[in-house]
């Protein structure tokens, strides 16, 4: 039942097409196989009744033809092997179904009209007309299928053309944006070149600072893998507030890390010394178990006898550091201020 519903919902089972094909076929069977002319046969009541019977019979024959073609078109193997498919189709719809349909027509004529068509002079003509009708129906479906495919291809071409136009517009927009960025980068590059020319005048004095800046910029772009909970996450160095050692960290060979967003985790390093050697321009040691990231510092100040370093981030954390570390940090920040002024 599901297959039949799918058939009648498809273009193969369009009702008015099936009725039209059945009417044409019944006209050919009725009027072409009679002795009288077409115009004289139309006015005859007997031929009118024959036409109606032929219409019912051809309708019952054309529906299976359409259904078989519908099923054959649905098989992928037969679609890839057209010779096999048309041989099967010819055998089923021309030979088998034609013979069955012709036998039914003879039986109906004999039972209803008392006329044995096999004893007449038009046996061969009847068979040829029925075969022609079935072949005509198959040609119709083949032609319509080809038109459906061509219409689909045309529609697909239009869709692809529209898609290509959209892609062209997107490419042009990206090109425009890239050109704007290129001009922006060229301006920035020109500014950097001009600055480099100014720095060359004092090369001897600024060479160490320039190398330091380059090293610092390189360190800023680097990342480190941090284990936060049970998940490993790649974190930029600039997102780190500080590294520190908790009790038992030396035994686990892990260093604890605090991020600016308030999260905590660990890194697979067994000492702060390795971290300090890897990023010497971004971190400074503020005690035996603390390594602070310089770009994470918001302010530093004294509060009574305590030396406080206030960090950026969500918690605005305040760390107590030794006086020696406080003075060294103050000196480092002054050096960076001089570098920026140059």
154-165: average pLDDT: 86
Confidence of residue 32 (pLDDT cuts 50, 70, 90): low
Model-level pTM greater than 0.75?
A: no
pLDDT at residue number 122: 53
Average pLDDT, whole number, for the chain?
Answer: 78
pLDDT: which is higher, 86 or 320: 320
Confidence of residue 340 (pLDDT cuts 50, 70, 90): low
pLDDT at residue number 339: 66
Please give the CATH number for the structural domain made up of 216-341: 2.40.50.1020
Structure tokens at 275: 């971290």
Q: For the chain, give the percent of residues with pLDDT over 90.
A: 0
- What's 92's DSSP letter? I
21: alpha, beta or left? (left if phi > 0; alpha if psi -120 to 50):
alpha
pLDDT at residue number 90: 75
Structure tokens at 53: 């019977």
- Report the side by side order of strands in the sheet with 264-267: 231-236, 223-228, 264-267, 255-259, 240-244, 290-293, 283-285
- Report the side by side order of strands in the sheet with 297-303: 297-303, 306-311, 318-321
pLDDT: which is higher, 67 or 105: 67
Confidence of residue 79 (pLDDT cuts 50, 70, 90): low
Q: How far apart (Å, rounded) are the C-alpha atoms in residues 262 and 317?
A: 9
pLDDT at residue number 342: 59
Confidence of residue 42 (pLDDT cuts 50, 70, 90): low
* pLDDT at 40 > cutoff 60: no
Cβ atoms of 72 and 78 within 8 Å: the answer is yes
Domain boundaries, the chain: 2-148, 216-341
pLDDT at residue number 309: 86
> Three-state SS for 286?
coil
Q: How far apart (Å, rounded) are the C-alpha atoms in residues 175 and 183?
A: 12
Residue with tokens 């297959």: 3
pLDDT at residue number 106: 74
Cβ burial of 226 (10 Å; 0-12, 13-18, 19+) is buried
Q: How far apart (Å, rounded) are the C-alpha atoms in residues 268 and 254?
A: 5
* Longest alpha-carbon distance in the chain: 131
Confidence of residue 87 (pLDDT cuts 50, 70, 90): confident
Cβ atoms of 98 and 91 within 8 Å: the answer is no
Residue with tokens 């019912």: 56
242: alpha, beta or left? (left if phi > 0; alpha if psi -120 to 50):
beta
- pLDDT, one tens digit per residue, over 295-338 is 888 888 888 888 888 888 888 888 888 888 888 888 888 777 77
> Three-state SS for 234?
strand
- pLDDT, one tens digit per residue, over 161-216 is 888 888 888 898 888 888 888 888 888 888 888 887 777 766 666 567 677 777 77
Confidence of residue 60 (pLDDT cuts 50, 70, 90): confident
pLDDT: which is higher, 189 or 10: 189
pLDDT at residue number 33: 59
pLDDT: which is higher, 239 or 118: 239
- pLDDT, one tens digit per residue, over 274-300 is 888 888 888 888 888 888 888 888 888
Q: How far apart (Å, rounded) are the C-alpha atoms in residues 51 and 30?
A: 6
pLDDT at residue number 36: 59
pLDDT at residue number 306: 86
pLDDT at residue number 328: 85
pLDDT at residue number 311: 86
Q: How far apart (Å, rounded) are the C-alpha atoms in residues 291 and 256?
A: 10
Confidence of residue 38 (pLDDT cuts 50, 70, 90): low
pLDDT at residue number 206: 58
pLDDT at residue number 125: 64
pLDDT at residue number 130: 72
Confidence of residue 1 (pLDDT cuts 50, 70, 90): low
């Amino acid at each position: 039942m599901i297959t039949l519903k799918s058939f009648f919902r498809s273009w193969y089972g369009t009702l008015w097409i099936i009725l039209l094909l059945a009417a044409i076929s019944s006209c050919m069977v009725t009027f072409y196989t009679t002795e009288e002319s077409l115009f004289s046969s139309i006015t005859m009541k007997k031929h009118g009744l024959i036409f109606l019977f032929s219409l019912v019979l051809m309708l019952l024959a054309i529906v299976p033809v359409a259904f078989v073609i519908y099923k054959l078109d649905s098989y992928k193997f037969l679609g890839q092997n057209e010779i096999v498919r048309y041989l099967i189709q010819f055998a089923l719809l021309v030979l088998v179904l034609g013979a069955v349909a012709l036998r039914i027509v003879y039986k109906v004529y004999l039972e209803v009209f008392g006329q044995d068509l096999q004893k007449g002079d038009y046996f061969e003509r009847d068979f040829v007309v029925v075969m022609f009708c079935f072949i005509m129906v198959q040609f119709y479906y083949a032609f319509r299928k080809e038109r459906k495919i061509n219409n689909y291809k045309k529609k697909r071409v239009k869709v692809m053309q529209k898609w290509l136009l959209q892609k062209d517009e997107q490419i042009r927009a990206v090109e425009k944006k890239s050109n704007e960025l290129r001009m922006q980068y060229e301006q920035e590059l020109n500014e950097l070149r001009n600055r480099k020319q100014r720095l060359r005048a004092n090369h001897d004095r600024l060479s160490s600072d320039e190398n330091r800046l380059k090293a610092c910029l390189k360190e800023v772009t680097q990342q480190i893998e941090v284990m936060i909970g049970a998940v490993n996450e790649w974190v930029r160095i600039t997102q780190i507030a500080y590294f520190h050692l908790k009790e038992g960290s030396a035994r686990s060979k892990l260093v604890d890390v605090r991020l600016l967003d308030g999260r905590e985790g660990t890194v697979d390093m067994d000492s702060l010394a390795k971290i300090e050697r890897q990023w010497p321009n971004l971190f400074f040691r503020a005690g035996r178990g603390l390594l602070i990231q310089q770009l994470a510092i918001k302010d530093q100040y004294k509060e009574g006898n305590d030396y406080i370093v206030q960090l950026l981030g969500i918690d605005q954390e305040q760390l107590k550091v030794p006086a020696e570390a406080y003075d060294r940090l103050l000196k480092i920040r002054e050096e960076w201020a001089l570098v920026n002024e140059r």
